């Protein structure tokens, strides 16, 4: 039985768990393509622009997650709200880690290109959601082989696309 208090994850693992279990497994088993992805580069540029505009502070916790502190709230900058559910869970996880350190914060998801901001609160129900995700992540990571291929709507935008679907025709 997994002990949730001992489970740690990166923010990206939380994202990947909600997006695709296979992606989570591949990224945590040293099969890395994501750094070369244009989407990741775009995210970094957006992050830098927002960073400068708001003068926020970047805080590294446990050498695991990087949190952007915008004054009294935790911000997360995304290039589009297409993955809003996983964005929200990633931010809830950050708030969860902070809460464990005795720091209570509100989160805000920033979608600068869409001029949209969503406030995120770590309620008791959200804590349970985060813990369920942490257990789920560990279960996927512990598998000895990658989860099976399932064609998902975002496969063509995924950094693992050619790895997963080599030989396939669009």
Residues 26-65 that bind ligand SF4 (CB under 6 A): 26
> Please, which residues bridge with residue 61 across strands?
65
The only residue of 11, 23, 97, 111 in contact with ligand SF4, by rule CB under 6 A: 23
Cβ proximity to ligand SF4: between 116 and 157 the closer is: 157
3-state secondary structure of 63: coil
Nearest to 69 by CA among 41, 97, 89: 97
Nearest to 86 by CA among 125, 133, 42: 133
Nearest to 110 by CA among 145, 74, 143, 85: 74
Burial status of residue 125 (CB atoms within 10 A of its CB: 0-12, 13-18, 19 or more):
exposed
Cβ proximity to ligand SF4: between 1 and 166 the closer is: 166
160 near ligand SF4 (CB under 6 A): yes
* Contact region with ligand SF4 (CB under 6 A), list: 1-9, 17-25, 83-91, 116-124: 17-25
149 near ligand SF4 (CB under 6 A): yes
The only residue of 77, 130, 133, 158 in contact with ligand SF4, by rule CB under 6 A: 158
* Residues in touch with ligand SF4 (CB under 6 A): 20, 22-23, 26, 149, 152, 154-155, 158, 160-161, 164
């Amino acid at each position: 039985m997994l002990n949730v208090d001992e489970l740690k994850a990166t923010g990206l693992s939380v994202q990947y768990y909600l997006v695709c279990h296979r992606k989570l497994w591949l990224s945590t088993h040293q099969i890395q393509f994501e750094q070369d992805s244009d989407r990741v580069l775009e995210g970094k540029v957006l992050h830098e622009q927002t960073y400068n505009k708001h003068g926020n502070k970047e805080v590294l916790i446990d050498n695991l997650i990087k949190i952007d502190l915008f004054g009294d709230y935790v911000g997360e900058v995304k290039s589009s709200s297409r993955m809003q559910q996983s964005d929200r869970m990633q931010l809830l996880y950050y708030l969860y880690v902070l809460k464990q350190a005795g720091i209570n914060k509100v989160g805000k998801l920033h979608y600068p290109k869409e001029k949209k901001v969503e406030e995120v609160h770590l309620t008791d129900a959200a804590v349970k959601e985060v813990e369920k995700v942490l257990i789920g992540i560990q279960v996927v990571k512990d598998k000895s082989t990658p989860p099976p291929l399932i064609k998902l709507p975002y496969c063509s935008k995924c950094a693992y696309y050619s790895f997963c679907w080599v030989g396939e025709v669009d």
